Structure 1
């Protein structure tokens, strides 16, 4: 036997040597799985390093448990723990292949690996090569059984075992610290399970998932049907009713909800060097058939975009910390807009140029009752097609048409834009307006991506008109949250043309656009105060759907009884009369602090604060206690999440079959001829495409 091999075998014959070999082999197969079985979106040197590092800490700690035992038991415990970790890896490889997500504790607790019909399709998704993840375990066991590697009978000192545990913990601390530096609020504001695995590893994700599930289960277990009494009593007392002048004015029409990423109200009619930043949105905003709201505020917290979606489609607030969509989107019962509309004859679909798992959309959308979800896997992807978090808006809108034209009408379609997202990068070929000159590099590019979004929107509207969709659709636009945070006070002051700004100014800066366009309605700029929580009841009013009976914390902005006190997620509020930020109260008309308030003013502010606190806490109770499982509105059929599957092959097959069953889609009405060629875009990335031509949107 060569000396090198002999020395190597000699080292492996020691407890520490065998332990090290087991750890390294487990790390190797995990890293290979990361690269070939999962789509983790690793970018840059830091993330690559963390991907290499993250299997080690938990493997060392978990396998290190065996080191505290003696003799043969130590070795067989190593193999048992190694097998358990490998089984978790194996299960996630299969689950990810089917659902593009990792197994959660909630999935395991509710129905195990068979959740979402995984069990019935196991034979179709499993590959013979998947079992290679067990190769190292089998090899090590055989080497032990046939005594190629001999069991070291000597006691392994406790201090050595403790040292290995400490090394594992120290490596985890390094991993967590570097991860938080690269992606802040990684665990407190969870974006995507892929992020946790990418940064902290599959084993850490398992622990995090079980912690979150147990925490949620405890709250859920304590809830009962009687908790709904206070919610129903509050909603009955605060019911606003509909506006008879507008009720049903858009009944039966298609609904487009266009999500304007990070888009703030100040951009409307804003100019840079005399040039409008958003000329097309400005025109839409001032159209005679557009209801525009200039005192509409975002109400998001840590969940940002996901909070906005939660409010827009459920009229439930996001959570004080974290994201309701990621924490409760999979397990909770919802009565969301897509499900309500689907039960009234609408086809419902969401479009997004990012991965399906971000903000847990692929699971939350099933809970909300979306028939279809078109995400990054449905779109052609090239390096220059993407920027930041996904597809550039012009390409996204254009490539969505091939699916949009196949949806039976009436439909409810949500399109989520991405390009106008922090930190607002835009390649030179797409820049067509100058930056602002505040000197803040984060802020100054904001108008360029907003201008690009504006152009993309114009191209989409042009298509809707050519395809015959514009007149028979209600088009809803909203900004999801701020684009420029309050940390950029000096830059904000310059943008607003002020020498300095107050906290009151910053509160007003949280306004986002909300516009509803439908041919035949009387439009105009409405000064009513409201927020994202009020969007759904307002949309339902125009569609002729009474929201009485639904658990919605917003009220119709068009109703004369709408409460204009707008709650911020932290408990502050704005209204036409008073604005309360922390302990300071401002006169909303003048922006001045109220230092010597009368007893009447104090009483009014206190009542407003109680109202805000109550609605926020009741909304939290609904989500955290999953209270909607105890209550079903009259005529509403509970959503069955297993009815939905967003895999590409199944969706495309379903759309093909629908063209035969229903003849109401744009494609069917056009006798099978696609309308994709009607779409005109000046996107330079598509300049070689025959379907692209110069657009008049600029």
Structure 2
């Protein structure tokens, strides 16, 4: 035993021994993080084996660089490399905790556009134990400083260092070969970063993501007009015709889009301690003049809210990594809802109680053709008026009335709420609902901010009724993305009143509300399966525009003959028959797992191919900026120079438009102001 210890110490006191020790400690902390901090879903012996060994090949390659150097420099290089690797691991642990995904270069690149209030969110997400990923570095430094481990000044032979490099490359290719045999098309068919990390590792994921980012930047420069042919062929075969029972029913109506931040479908009719979380929204949801969709899913990825807006306004998917609005909002050509409607006589405006640069909105909205963007510069701001990511919803919606009343009608107005945003903070004076008692500090206040949003919505509806806008408008509500990520499984199980939940339950948990209300509209609960990609064609058909020319990947939710396969951004899918998620196939109606027959496999493969094709073609449109090559009949390309969102310019434009049209609310009611009709119980305004 004593001789073994001496031999081990003697080995560690060599440069190669220190290298092996560093690799082992790095492997250990990475593997522990795989198990403790990520939900990678390794199943079966091969996946478990790859998960266990995948940190090693890349570590041998990267740490092996230090073996080419002499003396102390080699040791310091190993520690510096370890430190950089640990920062990458730490950052992914923190990011994954809230977003159930890994950091991408797109997210890092766009962080400057979404940094407002992120410090507060990070403080909520970071746990003290996260810093343990740096413990091995500290230990190694202490051992070196106190000479428990001595620096080996003998040169390590270059041929041996080269042998380590070759070994690492061989292992990387072997690892990929085994992974690809277990998961065919790992890097070509999957859109899920969890698979890449599970099979190949965090370092390989970073390398692949870097390649993807490079490929994305190169795609635009190499794109050509003929690239549109596949897109047009796909749309010709997949576009659904309108339901004539609803076509044009909202023709000439104002359109209000209420963007419900982080709002999930399970909240509808949900009760805590016998009390409805959202009584106003429930009333709206169950109204006979409201079309309510109970199988409507968010389809966002890392772009979260920006992805939802991308789909809503353009019927184009967000990107698998990063945010399309951040990366491509300024430079790309779009055929978006604001531009389509503005070219058909509508005024178009977006309302948002935060800084205009958040998600690059101030540039993207110009590309989409928004005539007005009422951002935080247009609102009165006081410390008590804001929480989390901007103005509190009650104050935001009330203050928006001063601009709504001036919009020439008909108008298309999108209002983005904010209070129901992570970390779900609300001051005591605005808390009027009990938190849930799951024991999860992130989840429990969620119903409180959702209830506050519901109260704000109720006040807004009262204003619409008092001013008569309700009679002449189509009100659209949608949840942009999940509020509670999949990393809160125990809490989710309690919320859903289940003992345990599986991948099927989590897929169904991705439902968000989608409601369309209009006086006289034949409403009811619609069970069709759809997602955010389908909103634009649905609204255009209701407004009386067939619009078979602009590029839209979605289908009218009211069409009688539509494909009901809903694509998730990671390549999973849900349909009335099958739910395919995490490599498993479920019966959508029962939630039971299926071992598919030969015919079922063919049917599911057809659905999977459709999803892959749909996502890939949408990505080609965005990454290649293909719409710059396509001039649809009846649509004029947007010129961003036509728009100025500065306060003085916008107010001048509103005044001139109303002098010309006399169609704004103030003119119609023959009054100077309607703000007195807006009643709120917001304590900050008393």
Is TM > 0.5 for Structure 1 vs Structure 2?
A: yes
Which position in structure 2 is the counterpart of 1:159? none
Q: Against the structure 1 CA distance between its residues 195 and 419, is the aligned structure 2 distance closer, same or farther, given a 3 Å change threshold?
A: closer
Look up the SS of the partner of 2:373 in the other structure. strand
Q: Which runs of 5+ in 2 are unaligned?
A: 1-77, 97-102, 120-210
Indicate the residue corresponding to 1:608 in structure 2: 607
Matches of 1:359 and 1:668, distance apart in 2: 35
Measure, in 2, the Cα distance between the counterparts of 1:478 and 1:196.
Answer: 25
* Rounded Cα–Cα distance in structure 1 between residues aligned with 2:674 and 2:223: 51
Q: d(CA) in 1 for partners of 2:523 and 2:280?
A: 17
How far apart are 1:598 and its partner, in Å?
A: 1.5
Residues 457 and 218 (structure 1 numbering): CA distance in 2 closer, same or farther, change over 3 Å?
A: same
Tell me the SS of whatever aligns to 2:295: strand
Q: Is the 8 A contact 1:175 1:199 kept in 2?
A: no
Does 1:383 pair with 2:383?
yes
Please give the per-residue CA displacement for 1:148-169, whole angstroms capped at 9, x wherever unaligned: xxxxxxxxxxxxxxxxxx9x99
Partner of 1:420: 420
Q: How far did 1:187 drift? A: 4.6
Structure 2 counterpart of 1:643: 642
Counterpart of 1:663?
A: 662
Cα drift, residue 177 of structure 1: 9.3
Shift of 1:175: 9.8
Residue in 2 aligned with 1:160? Answer: none
CA contact (8 A) 1:385 1:685 kept: yes
**Residue matched to 2:60:** none
Separation in 1 of the partners of 2:117 and 2:508? 38
| Cα 1:199/1:415, change in 2 over 3 Å | closer
Match of 2:485 in 1: 485
Is contact 1:192–1:360 with CA below 8 Å preserved after alignment?
A: no
Once the 2 structures are TM-superposed, how far is the Cα of residue 324 of structure 1 from its aligned partner?
0.5
Question: Shift in Å at residue 171 of structure 1?
Answer: 12
Match of 2:365 in 1: 365
Alignment map for 1:152-231 (pairs within 5 Å): 185=103, 187-189=105-107, 190-191=109-110, 193-194=112-113, 216-231=216-231
1:562 maps to what in 2? Answer: 562
SS of residue in 2 equivalent to 1:475:
strand
Distance 1:350 1:197, change over 3 A: closer
Runs (5+) with no aligned partner, structure 1: 1-165, 201-210, 688-698
Secondary structure (helix, strand or coil) at the match of 2:637 reads: coil
Q: Where in structure 2 are the equivalents of 1:13-24 lying within 5 Å?
A: none
Q: Deviations over 1:449-492 (max 9, x none)?
A: 00000000000010011111001000000000000111111111
Task: Give the SS at the match of 1:471.
Answer: helix
1:630 equivalent to 2:549? Answer no
Question: Is contact 2:105–2:213 with CA below 8 Å preserved after alignment?
Answer: no
- Matched positions, count: 518
Cα separation, 2, equivalents of 1:426 and 1:655: 35
In structure 2, how many angstroms separate the alpha carbons of the residues matched to 1:467 and 1:623?
41
CA RMSD of aligned residues (A): 2.9
Change (3 A) 1:419 1:485: same
Deviation at 1:232, TM superposition (A): 0.4
Query: Where does residue 202 of structure 2 map in the other structure?
Result: none
Match of 1:316 in 2: 316
* Residue 344 (structure 1) aligned with residue 263 (structure 2): no
Q: Which residues of 2 match residues 58-207 of structure 1 at below 5 A?
A: 185=103, 187-189=105-107, 190-191=109-110, 193-194=112-113
Mapped to 1, the partners of 2:535 and 2:342 lie a distance apart of 18
1:674-685 alignment runs, 5 A limit? 674-685=673-684
Residue 653 of structure 1: aligned partner: 652
Q: CA deviation at 1:589?
A: 1.2
Partner of 2:7: none
Cα distance per residue 1:585-637 (max 9 Å; x no partner): 11111111112x21111110010001000000000000000000111211101
Measured after TM superposition, the shift of residue 320 of structure 1 is: 0.6
Measure the CA separation in 2 of the matches of 1:215 and 1:330. 19
1:438-517 matches, within 5 Å, as 438-517=438-517
Kindly tell me: are residues 421 and 637 of structure 1, through their superposed partners in 2, closer, same or farther at Cα, counting changes over 3 Å?
same
Q: Distance in 1 between matches of 2:518 and 2:351?
A: 21
In 2, the alpha carbon distance for the partners of 1:169 and 1:670 equals: 69
